Amino acid sequence: MDGLVEFKTDDGAVVAVEAVEERSGSRLVSRGDGTVQAARTFEGALDGVRAAAESALRVFRDGSLRPDGVEIEFGVKLAAETGAFIAKGTAEGHLVVRLTWSPDASGASSAS
């Protein structure tokens, strides 16, 4: 475990998350218990992930596939200074996309 980072939400609640160590030249100073305070709010840290999800949804909804449902799963890591970013998994990044289509009611009745 790299440590804990406390993010405050816009309404003042505290969210403690396991965070990755930043690889930049600077290091945050933690309290005695190893917890550091995040430079952003929890919502602010997730802004980039939300923008990535919105962009991915546009790609799948506006294309020729026209699925009835789109499910996008990101692996997200949180860092005290940089906020949230999409986690690297076994491939170059962690992103799972599921597209679903419902059977057409008129097509189902003609198949009987």
CA distance 102 to 95: 23
Q: Which residue has the tokens 């980072």?
A: 5
Tens-level pLDDT at each residue, the chain (112 residues): 457 788 888 998 888 877 666 555 545 445 555 677 788 888 888 888 888 889 888 888 888 888 999 998 888 777 777 676 666 654 455 678 899 999 874 455 444 4
**What is the number of other CB atoms lying within 10 angstroms of the CB of residue 99?**
14
Coil, helix or strand at residue 18:
strand
Query: pTM above the 0.75 mark?
Result: no
